[in-house]
Chain A
Amino acid sequence: MPAEGRQLEKLRHLARHALESGAVSLVIGFAEGTVPGRAAPLFCTAPADADRLIFDGYCTLNLANYLTRPEVRAHQTVALVARHAVAKAVVGLVQESQVDPTRVRLIAIHCPDLDGLQQDVAWTVADGLQTLDEFLPTAAHLHDQELTPERFAAVAQVESKSSHDRWDHFAREFDKCIKCYACRNVCPLCYCERCIADKNQPQWIDTSSTQRGNFAWNIVRAFHLAGRCIDCGACERACPMDLPLMELNRKMKKVVAERFGYVAGYDPKADLPLVTFKKDDPEEFIK
């Protein structure tokens, strides 16, 4: 059996065993999609379901997204097939009291680099079901890759533009937005029951498909994720209109790293930099 096949067997075995032993009542992973080159989320509640699990470079959804759904919350303990970005999202959800870490287990998938989404990337499955605390040390080394210049190539390109050209660039890009909110719906950290964009009394965010509305939505989305976005890229991949959402997300990530020395997704106990109140905050931006 090829190496990949052995890893898949291991993945299915872990899932099956987790359900059989009663350690969890739900395993969320991926199954073959309806069209080639797509993977669909799979919710396994019976051990036999585990046989349908797959994992490959198409499994790009951030499954942590499902943890905040009422149907999933109803389960006492849930296991996630988790590549690194999924685990990072779980960290964020724990920080914001959305997920009880004692009720989540990870079937961790390790890829050699941070994203590990390329087709031919070699992946391995960690031994045994892990708690978040057990998992975190095994991925701590990836922190170093979070801020490498290559990750910010697109940001640097936008930054190098004049403000005039930058305006045009975003005006053009945002103009494509059709307000489908797919970006919001796939984002594991966009879990609000009632998004501010859906608030209409009063309606702060203009929902019209005009330039003003497009700017309002895209800027608010990015701002609400500042210091929280775990850089999984799910939103950009979900966008049917190919908006370069990661340009904004990564710019935020860069500023937060520079200003607060913080990268989201590594420490479930850390204070979120934009959600702290410090009396001795230098507040340099005001002076």
Chain B
Amino acid sequence: MSRIGVFVCWCGENIGRTVDCPAVAEAARRMPGVAHAVDYKYMCSDPGQQMIIQAIAEHRLTGLVVASCSPRMHEPTFRKAAARAGLNPYLCEMANIREHCSWVHEDRAVATAKAIELLRVMVEKVRHNEALKAVSVPITDRALVIGGGIAGIQAALDIADAGHDVILVERAPSIGGHMSQLSETFPTLDCSQCILTPKMVEVAQHPRIRLLTCAEVEAVSGYVGNFEVTVRRKARYVRLDRCTGCGACWNECPVKKIPSEFDEGLGLRTAVYVPFPQAVPNKPMIDTENCLRHKDARRKGIPVTESKVCGKCEAACPIPGKAINFADADELETVQVGAIVVATGFQTLPAAAIPEYGAGRFKDVVTGLQFERLASASGPTSGEIRRPSDGRPVERLAVIACVGSRDPAKGCAYCSKICCMYIAKHAMLFRHKNHHGAAHVFYMDIRAGGKDYDEFVRRAIEEDGVDYLRGRVSRIFERGGKLVLFGSDTLVGEKVELEVDMVVLASAMVPQPGVQALAQKLGVAYDQSGWLTEAHPKLRPVETAAAGVFLAGTCQGPRDIPETVAQAGGAASKVIGLLSRDTLDREPIIARVDERVCDYCTACIKTCPVKAIGTKELKNRQGVLLRRVAEVNAGLCIGCGTCVAACRPKAIDLAGFTDAQLFAEVRALGDFNDIEGRECDGVPHFGPAGCIAGQSVKSGGLDSHPTDAGMEREKHG
């Protein structure tokens, strides 16, 4: 005989305003199996939990129902309270009378009646609950960090410094990300490379970090604590174990006019190349698109090892046995990790998306990143601001804010957040480098929230004399070797026509193209714009919906370096917390197969999204195979219930949500006996205990009247 305790929570006014909580408790006392029912202002508070703990002992309760908020909110709270009182936590359930009831209804009587029904359903469920034991699984003490920008670098270092192994997977030939391209960084104007390079070197030298560059995640399986990740290591054609980065090869490479990605197309590189001098690893790779030998092999349709063309790099390589390796091929490597940090960063809106400003058409209309390269001491102009078209110095500069950002038509409804700051930086840097030059900024609003940020923008305006014009530029065209801007200054209400030498576009930050495919592999959600989504925007900002997968940096949304680093540290601390444990308790909400009933149709095996179901062979004592049945791996099952739905004979059941429990719940919903004065609503229910339309369950039994009122209504309604 069950002795169930019911605890009805007011949630202050949240529930109490709309639901008559004492009446709900009163109704609960009359429900079969309920031994004790009370209501209280805040069940989750300390006194509330104490009430539960005391009642369990006093009334020898065998199960609990807390009628309050969503189980997502407080199920762990109340289950822990139950456990403290010595009751198996899985004998505690919650009836959600807040989100599902008080928050969505206004009529007190109706809401109260519904709360009673929701409660009745859970009481029926608990009557069929069984004690469950958490599944304990070992944890792989190793983390995977995907993306080696400042976010990934910081996360990897923090995790490794705490004593855990890290595999850092970077798609590009070097780590560093966008930060390595920046000249100086707001708000302090320290040189980006100078503060980043030491961290990059630390990554390379850290005994606990394994760095895989030119690598991407191919497939992910497993679950928190035990992921199995397949990494594709792309052919680099240079043996990292042999190469010393001496540079003999790239000095000899005859293909010298390839636009450099690192310099945003403003500088040139060779076909065998190191992306930038401070690259980590500081070793080259061969760009197969442009390498003469690869081109020849492609044209002839032969393996590249059989081509005799060029090969100057190989000849120049001074290493015995050669570090250049034309026989290199992509490799797939499978690694086991316990936690994953996604730090894949951002891109800026491509020029093709902003035709109105002539980006890509007019050479002297440059992007913010191109300007960073021009301003960088290690950049293609050694830090002098010169025009890409003719190399002449820039006398008059215009910077346009919000290019694409806050513009739903461009698919970027959001604010890119960093541009207000870096355009001030750009204008300021320009003025520092050219004291006679003029800098104009076209802006919509200035959003410079942050420590020393507004001061930074003020400095640009007040000390460096940057001309801030509030208004949009409508059009840019070329006239006599100059760029002419048409726009407006909305503060003075005048049209503006400005002739300048160069225009910088603060183009919007956008997610990495293709990051959605990676997110799908990881089970991480993304929003409409493609930014990866955190588990809770306020309270779980670095977690994702996929347990064990965390976010760091701009893959989650636009942000600057300080914020990126802080978030990376946050993600790292979550990973460290996870990896510091030996085992992980997993919810025992897992599927189980009734071997007597299973026909081995394999439907469950094929539908299980995490491949948790395998085959078990049933043999007799002589070892002769009798038949095969499905078998669930408790360590892998995530309790999604897909298999239960797929199994036709219902040979699979989900612990904690068994057929018997769900059936009892449905039955309870169909029971109208307890609701005073409640008449059948005339809608026929096909459920097992459903009402027979037009009659009450009490009087009607299972006699059917196929063409009664309810069906008429369904037919004509």
Which residues of A come within 8 Å of B, CB atoms?
Answer: 96-98, 163-164, 167-168, 171, 175, 191-196, 199, 201-204, 206, 208, 210-213, 215-216, 224, 271-272, 274-277, 279-280
Contacts and interface: CB of A to CB of B under 8 A. Distances in A.
22 contacts: A96-B603, A97-B628, A192-B601, A192-B648, A193-B599, A196-B650, A201-B660, A202-B660, A204-B659, A206-B686, A206-B688, A208-B702, A210-B703, A210-B704, A212-B686, A212-B690, A212-B692, A224-B648, A275-B602, A275-B607, A276-B606, A277-B609
Contact of A191 (B599, B660, B715): B599
Interface string B301-340: 0000000000000000000000000000000000000000
B703 to A, nearest CB: 7
Contacts of A168: 715
A98 B602 CA distance: 9
Contacts, number: 87
The list of the 9 closest CB pairs from A to B, nearest first, reads A210-B704, A202-B663, A211-B706, A192-B649, A164-B715, A275-B603, A96-B601, A277-B607, A97-B602
B600 interface: yes
Given A191-B599, A193-B597, A212-B684, A275 B704 contact: no
Contacts of B628: 97
Interface string B652-691: 0000000110011000000000000000000010101010
B642 interface: yes
Interface of B: 520, 596-597, 599-603, 606-609, 628, 642, 646, 648-651, 659-660, 663-664, 684, 686, 688, 690, 692, 702-704, 706-707, 711, 714-716
B524 to A, nearest CB: 12
Contact of B642 (A171, A202, A277): A277
Nearest to A280: B520
Contacts of B596: 194
B715 A194 contact: no
Contacts of B704: 208, 210-213
Given A175-B706, A196-B649, A212-B684, A279 B601 contact: no
Contacts of A272: 603, 606
Nearest to B714: A167
A216 B663 contact: no
A168 B706 CA distance: 10
Contacts of B650: 196, 199, 204
Contacts of B646: 274-275
A167 B715 CA distance: 7
Contact of A196 (B601, B648, B715): B648
Nearest to B521: A279
A285 B223 CA distance: 29
A164 B650 CA distance: 33
A277 B600 CA distance: 18
Contacts of A276: 606-607
A266 B684 CA distance: 41
Nearest to A162: B715
A202 B648 contact: no
A193 B601 contact: no
Given A212-B704, A213-B704, A224-B648, 10 more contacts: A171-B707, A192-B601, A192-B649, A208-B704, A211-B706, A212-B690, A212-B692, A276-B607, A279-B520, A279-B609
Nearest to B607: A277
Contact of A277 (B608, B651, B702, B714): B608
Nearest to B640: A277
Given A164-B716, A277-B606, A280-B520, A210 B642 contact: no
A202 B607 CA distance: 24
B519 to A, nearest CB: 10
B311 to A, nearest CB: 44
Contacts of B702: 206, 208, 210
A90 to B, nearest CB: 15
A231 B572 CA distance: 58
Contacts of B692: 212
A135 B153 CA distance: 60
A206 B651 CA distance: 18
Nearest to A197: B649
B691 to A, nearest CB: 10
Contact of B711 (A98, A167, A194, A277): A167
Given A202-B663, A210-B703, A277-B642, A271 B606 contact: yes
A194 B663 CA distance: 19
A243 B156 CA distance: 67
A201 B650 CA distance: 11
Contacts of B684: 212
B655 to A, nearest CB: 16
A237 B417 CA distance: 71
Contacts of A211: 704, 706
A274 B607 CA distance: 9
Nearest to B651: A194
A91 to B, nearest CB: 14
Given A164-B716, A212-B686, A279-B520, A204 B603 contact: no
A171 B715 CA distance: 12
A191 B627 CA distance: 15
A270 to B, nearest CB: 11
A272 to B, nearest CB: 7
B607 A163 contact: no
B649 A199 contact: yes
Most buried by A among B597, B663, B688: B688
Contact of B602 (A96, A192, A208): A96
Q: Which of A98, A193, A202, A271 counts the most B-chain CB atoms under 10 A from its CB?
A: A202
Contacts of B597: 193-194
B649 A204 contact: no
Nearest to B712: A164
Could you say which of B602, B642, B684 has the most chain A C-beta atoms within 10 Å of its C-beta? B602
Contact of A275 (B606, B664, B703, B715): B606
Contacts of A275: 602-603, 606-607, 646
Most chain B C-beta atoms within 10 Å of own C-beta, residue among A171, A192, A279 = A192
B701 to A, nearest CB: 10
A138 B688 CA distance: 48
A201 B648 CA distance: 15
B23 to A, nearest CB: 31
Contacts of B601: 96-98, 192
A194 B702 CA distance: 25
A247 B401 CA distance: 64
Contact of B715 (A163, A202, A224): A163
Nearest to A68: B599
A216 B690 CA distance: 13
B649 A195 contact: yes
Nearest to A225: B648
Contacts of A199: 649-650
B665 to A, nearest CB: 11
A250 to B, nearest CB: 20
Contacts of B600: 97-98
A224 B646 CA distance: 10
Nearest to A279: B520
A269 to B, nearest CB: 12
A215 B686 contact: yes
A210 to B, nearest CB: 3
A199 B603 CA distance: 19
Contacts of A204: 650, 659, 663, 688
Contacts of B648: 192, 196, 224
B622 to A, nearest CB: 16
Contacts of A98: 599-601
A98 B707 CA distance: 42
Contacts of B599: 98, 191-193
- Most A Cβ at <10 Å: residue of B648, B650, B703, B714: B648
